[in-house]
Structure 1
Amino acid sequence: MVSGQRGRSDRGAGRGRSRARLDLTERSLLAGEAAAAVAELETSLAVQPDPEAAAFFDVDNTIIQGASIFHLARGLHRRHFFTTKDIVGAAWKQAYFRIVGVEDPEHVAEARSSALAFIAGHRVEELEAIGEEIFDESMAERIWPGTRALAQMHLDQGQRVWLVTAAPIEIATTIARRLGLTGALGTVAEHVDGVYTGRLVGEMLHGPHKAVAVRRVAEEEGLDLARCSAYSDSSNDIPMLSLVGDPCVINPDARLREHARAEGWRIRDYRTGRKAAKAGLVTAGMAGAVTGSVAAGLALRRRTR
């Protein structure tokens, strides 16, 4: 009996040591990617400021690990903005987007319309305050160190740095402010007298609409797009990346990686050593679909993973 107990104890200790080794490896990888980004930053400091240059960063899986809209959705769900039952009907459509990687315009329109209903009647200031809380709860620790260093590099060069995302402008602005960036471009939910109506202002800031928004900012700010940089992980953002003189792909999907190689664009992948995590993307996509489809009430998530 004692021998059997010792055997189980030894196995438990072995598993503990394995987990400890994995944790150490993960910390080493994070330290390595941060060190590489710092080295790139230090090299950049010798460059003279260029007031006609700016950098435009996508958010989901470029600035932050995963989807900002998913983290927002979880926070809204915890605060009883909606119930799980409310969104089961839309969940499979979000899962379809993630797994198949193809947008169905009809699905997008239906999901957006149904999801917007969940925030109708809520005040803008309420969503802004919740966004601040959710950033602290689940987003701050998921900022990619390497991408954060790249953004800081542009700031140190005297350039403006903008986030460009299909996520709600409220959460995009919060992330930009917390990271000390210039500002954010995001999807805007209509509100009247500070209360959401359940409709969008214009279109989701997604795909080619991002390129239009970036061009508009360049005109307003007196930027030379040939001197500007853009960063994204998604092939949906090829129009935005193609607009600037210095495109760089971050943690790219397969199609974007192939395109970047063909075009000679810079590639930065901070997921090295985490390949096993990719196997969980489909499962995570199914789970994220449940809450993600609701937070789309502010802006239907841009990902088609």
Structure 2
Amino acid sequence: MKSTFAIFDVDYTIIKGDSMFLMLIFGIKKRPLIIFYTPIILVKIVLALLGIIDIRVAKEAIYIPLKFLTEKELEGFYNEVLLNNLNIEVMKRLKQHKEEGHHILLASASPEAYLSWFKKNNYIDGIIGTKIKKIDDKYINEIEGENCKGGEKLKRINQYLEERNLEIDFENSFAYSDSLGDKPMLSLVKNRYKVSKTQGIIGEFIW
């Protein structure tokens, strides 16, 4: 069934910061011993930026709080941190799309482990993020499958559509992101909007 969609990235789009680093800070506050992991996290971030190790390794290091936080605490992260860092202008646009009958989909490279709590928002129909492995129903800081960015994000969106027998109405659908790294996702719709980290929605992507 062909449907109108509004697809949103999360970091620096739905929220004003990087949710991974916000989660790391939240995790240290909840479990202070996590601070002892920060030197190795910083080393891996630098090595990834230099191209010496894969970015996946650095991201998994940043995800260390997931090993220690309960589901209730992850919900607390959503309530106390993510909701307090929402991009108000983008959220107004999201609600407008919902009121116009569009299917609202969040698609992010950040973990579904905490992004899933956005389902508490009645305006949001679906959430796609990086999957994190679980052992004995407990998260570990390892990515399951691929990091949900670029081509993988496009693949996951297409899988989402196929599972629900949905098709995007290209001409009348919208997508929002802060980065051309989301070009595969943005290419799914005609109306593509760039979100500035400091200025909100600043205009359409052109390439």
TM-score range, shorter chain: 0.7 to 0.9
Q: How does 1:250-289 map to 2 (within 5 A)?
A: 250-251=195-196, 260-261=205-206, 263=207
**For residues 154 and 252 of structure 1, what CA distance do their matches in structure 2 show?**
21
Aligned to 1:231, which of 176, 183, 195?
176
Identity of aligned residues (%): 22
Give the residue type in structure 1 aligned to 2:26.
G
Mark the CA change 1:115 to 1:249 in structure 2 (over 3 Å): closer, same or farther: closer
Corresponding residue for residue 144 of structure 2: 201
Matching of residue 177 in structure 1 with residue 120 in structure 2? yes
Judged with a 3 Å threshold, the aligned counterparts in structure 2 of structure 1 residues 119 and 135 are, in CA distance, closer, same or farther, namely closer
Deviation at 1:166, TM superposition (A): 1.2
AA partner of residue 181 (structure 2) = N
The CA distance in 2 between the partners of 1:58 and 1:211, in whole Å, is 12
Conserved 8 A contact 2:193-2:204: no
1:111 alignment partner in structure 2: 58
Residue in 2 that maps onto 1:74:
25
Q: CA RMSD in A?
A: 3.0
Q: Which moved more, 1:210-219 or 1:107-116?
A: 107-116
- The residue number in structure 2 matching 1:249 is 194
Q: Deviations over 1:78-110 (max 9, x none)?
A: 11164323221221443677xxxx673724243
- When normalised by structure 2's length, the TM-score is 0.82
CA distance in 1, matches of 2:46, 2:4: 38
Instruction: Give per-residue Cα distances to partners, 1:200-259, cap 9 Å, x unaligned.
Output: 220111122111112222233312251432110012111111122222111179xxx999
Select the structure of larger CA radius of gyration. 1
Aligned mates of 1:179, 1:75 — CA distance in 2: 25
Paired amino acid for 2:34: T
User: What is the alpha-carbon distance in structure 1 between the residues aligned to residue 50 and residue 157 of structure 2?
Assistant: 23
CA distance in 2: counterparts of 1:174 and 1:73, whole angstroms: 17
- TM-aligned CA deviation for residue 195 of structure 1: 2.0
Partner AA of 2:144 in structure 1:
V
Question: Is 1:132 aligned with 2:75?
Answer: yes
1:82/1:118 contact within 8 Å kept? no
SS of structure 2 residue aligned to 1:152: helix
Is the contact between residue 234 and residue 252 of structure 1 (CA under 8 Å) also seen in structure 2?
no
Unaligned runs of 5+ in 1: 1-49, 264-305
Change (3 A) 1:137 1:114: closer
Between the aligned partners of 2:97 and 2:24, the Cα distance in structure 1 is 31
- Which structure shows the higher helix fraction? 1
Long gaps (5+) in structure 2: none
* Equivalences, count: 202
Question: Does the 8 A contact of 2:191 with 2:204 survive in 1?
Answer: no
Query: Separation in 2 of the partners of 1:72 and 1:115?
Result: 9
* CA displacement 1:109-153 (0-9 Å, x = unmatched): 432454556644x57xx1x31122123322223211110011111
When you count strand as a share of all residues, which structure comes out higher? 2
User: Which amino acid in the other structure matches residue 145 of structure 1?
Assistant: I
